[in-house]
Amino acid sequence: MTRDLGLYAPKRPHKLNPALIAMLFNAVHDLHGGRVFVLEIGAGAGEGGLPFLGRFQGDGWSGLLIEPHPGHFAALEALHADSDRVAVLNLGVSDINANLPLHSLTPEAQAQFRRVPRGRASILRDRIATEGIPDDAIAAVEVPFLRLDAVLEELGIDSAQVIAINAGGHEEQVLRSFALGPLAPALVLINAVAGTAADAAAIATLRAGGLQPYRLGEWLAGFAPGSLAVPLDELLSYFQKGVDGAGAADASETAGPGDPADPSEGEA
């Protein structure tokens, strides 16, 4: 049960999202004593998007990272070449087994159109061909796509503490390719555009799996109510409510109404 704590209305709520994701990761880490296996579909080059790299390198997490784009996969493979806890696969995931075209900007276009997020790829050409992008700036490569349940069975993977899906608009098909419940994830993260049919399908899938969905920017975060906990001292420290030394005043007590030390008035 969620208990009402009153209204919190930060001016820039999106600035809280990285910290909230870090708190969720910490909660999963604590719940499973550091033994966390990540299943990531659409891992990209491994250094953008969700902050898994630091968890793999510093917290002992392990995982299976799946990336369909050959160029992005090459960077991902190189990044984890020396790891014995992270496996990488170069294939796509869908609800059918088929070879499908994967669209992305050419390297030259990626350098030219710097406002386009790096590493974007999709089987949906319209996701890449946004306004101002000429046809010759888009490349396509045929990639094998498999159902995730078949991949997991082949590899003998029957559980994952964190599941992350970023499939360039193909998330609904990914979710249809495996059963979420048997993997018993503590946390599921799905890239989704609010208000779309795919977003609604992702929310329905999370709820059907007993997970409560929350929206953190471009991510839906699903976990079982009451299952994850964040230490109160971590939370209060993040909101700058700690006292630095004996006799020192709390920043929230000395700050004026416009002072950034108050998270309800600051950069959040």
Q: How far apart are CA 55 and CA 52, in angstroms?
A: 5
- Entry pTM: 0.85
**Cβ–Cβ under 8 Å, residues 163 and 138:** no
Would you state the pLDDT for residue 119? 66
Q: How far apart are CA 105 and CA 111, in angstroms?
A: 9
Q: How far apart are CA 213 and CA 74, in angstroms?
A: 33
Would you state the pLDDT for residue 36? 98
pLDDT in tens, the chain (268 residues): 678 888 888 888 889 999 999 999 999 999 999 999 999 999 998 987 899 999 999 999 999 999 999 988 999 999 999 999 999 999 999 999 999 888 877 777 776 776 666 667 877 777 776 767 787 778 888 999 999 999 999 999 999 999 999 998 889 999 999 999 999 999 999 999 999 989 999 999 999 999 999 999 999 999 999 999 999 999 999 989 999 754 444 444 444 444 444 433 344 4
Please state the φ and ψ torsions of residue 40, each to the nearest 5 degrees: -120, 120
Query: Which of 142, 144, 140 has its CA nearest to residue 129?
Result: 140
Domains and CATH numbers, the chain: 13-95+158-232 (3.40.50.150)
Q: How far apart are CA 197 and CA 91, in angstroms?
A: 25
List the end-to-end C-alpha distance of the chain, in Å, as a whole number.
Answer: 26
